[in-house]
Amino acid sequence: MLGAKEGETKPIPSQEKSPARAVTQEWTSQDAWAVYQLPFNDLLFRSQSVHREHFDPNRVQLSRLLNIKTGGCPEDCGYCSQSSHHSTAVAPSKLMEVEKIVAEARKAKESGATRYCMGAAWRNPKPRDMDAIVEIVGAVKQLGLETCLTLGMLDRGQADRLSAAGLDYYNHNIDTSESYYPSVISTRTFADRLDTLSHVHEAGMKVCCGGILGMGESEQDRVDMLVTLSNLPKAPESVPINMLIPIAGTPMAKAPPIGPIEFVRIVALARIMMPASFVRLSAGRSAMTDEMQALCFFAGANSIFVGDTLLTAGNPQDEADRKLFRRLGLEAL
């Protein structure tokens, strides 16, 4: 990390007439909304200034995501093609064999990825699954990759076991604001999400947590989602910002799309509110123009998923990403 010693917090540079706030202070919904509503140029100037204090602005971290167990999930998340509640084309599968996962991880490393993320469509891992998951973590780490898992909810014992296995990151998104959350999912509560994040943090792993934009939520909901994340006992080390990919057969298949400027505003706000976190452009990049992605990078995004598939959705081809990086003068972190 550039510009700050480990454990040191630095104040966010403020501008005339813009709300000033130290990194260590709690964000209120009102303060965050005031920053979000700044004139677009002022907002991006501020977010880019914060970004340069903590990161090299021309380097982007590359992650690759593999679905190690597809479909059949008992949760009813309104955006998800893998829910057993929805009529989609996704067929359930069993957990992939360790050897196949390692082979895919090796390909990811060869293509430039430094973090390997693995997802299983579970409400929570069962005790019978944990031995295999621990073995997977160890095998992927032996390749020299950072490891990340998303397996649904965890209890404290499961979090401790994954931490002991050497897992670097655990992903568990809160998806949206607490007030809009019941419109997205009914099979688990917002508090359930926060409980899992607490277990992950207390077990000593890094937290990967963000949300999805474009599910019919308001702009205030998007801002409040970031307020929740920034006010956790420790802000997530990785914050994925997803743009909804409407999938036929899901309740949100016809959700109105979020505008590019509104999306970039949230990326900028995430950078300002969580200055030392990786902010990742996640699902939805296949629907973004090069210009929109460029604005996101300027706003402070510094991580992307590479590879042509994200779980069950499409993603830009590797060559398209290489071409974009060349045009923007970006390098892989």
Residue 5, domain member (yes or no): no
Letter for the amino acid at 222? R
**Closest to 78 (Cα-Cα) out of 194, 227, 287, 245:** 245
Residue 20, domain member (yes or no): no
Please indicate whether residue 280 is annotated as part of the active site.
yes
> What is the Cα–Cα distance from 313 to 67, expressed in whole angstroms?
11
Residue whose pair of structure tokens reads 């947590």 in the numeric block: 209
Residue 13, domain member (yes or no): no
Q: Which of 21, 46, 64, 117 is catalytic?
A: 117
> What is the Cα–Cα distance from 98 to 142, expressed in whole angstroms?
13
- Cβ burial, residue 80 (10 Å; 0-12/13-18/19+): buried
CATH number of the domain residue 137 falls in: 3.20.20.70
Along the 333 residues of the chain, how does pLDDT read in single tens digits?
233 333 333 333 333 333 333 445 699 999 999 999 999 999 999 999 999 999 999 999 999 888 888 777 888 888 887 776 777 766 677 888 999 999 999 998 988 889 999 998 888 899 889 999 999 999 999 999 999 999 999 999 999 999 999 999 999 999 999 999 999 999 999 999 999 999 999 999 999 999 999 999 999 999 999 999 999 999 999 999 999 988 888 988 899 999 999 999 999 999 999 999 999 999 889 899 999 999 999 999 999 988 655 555 556 777 899 999 999 999 998
Which pLDDT does position 84 carry in this prediction? 63
Q: Which of 46, 188, 208, 296 is catalytic?
A: 208
Structure tokens at 153: 């909810």
Residue 257, domain member (yes or no): yes
Q: Are 233 and 227 in contact (CB under 8 A)?
A: no
Residue 267, domain member (yes or no): yes
Collapsing DSSP states into helix, strand and coil, what is residue 238?
Answer: strand
Q: Are 173 and 194 in contact (CB under 8 A)?
A: no
Please indicate whether residue 80 is annotated as part of the active site.
yes
Residue 69, domain member (yes or no): yes
| Phi, psi torsion values for 169, nearest 5 degrees | -130, 145
Report the 3 state secondary structure along 65-115: EEEEECCCECCCCCCCCCECCCCCCCCCCCCCCHHHHHHHHHHHHHCCCCE
Q: Which of 64, 148, 188, 209 is catalytic?
A: 148
First-to-last C-alpha distance (Å) of the chain: 11
Which pLDDT does position 13 carry in this prediction? 35
| Phi, psi torsion values for 211, nearest 5 degrees | -160, -170
Letter for the amino acid at 310? L
* H or E segment to which residue 69 belongs: strand 59-69
- The residues that bridge with 68 in the sheet, in sequence order, are none
Q: Which domain holds residue 204?
A: 29-332
Please indicate whether residue 296 is annotated as part of the active site.
no
Please indicate whether residue 77 is annotated as part of the active site.
yes
Q: Which of 21, 46, 64, 73 is catalytic?
A: 73
Which pLDDT does position 227 carry in this prediction? 98
Which pLDDT does position 248 carry in this prediction? 86
Q: Which of 21, 46, 64, 77 is catalytic?
A: 77
Residue 51, domain member (yes or no): yes
Please indicate whether residue 271 is annotated as part of the active site.
no
Q: Which of 46, 222, 280, 285 is catalytic?
A: 280
**How many CB atoms sit inside 10 A of residue 299's CB?**
25
Residue 1, domain member (yes or no): no
The number of domains in the chain is: 1
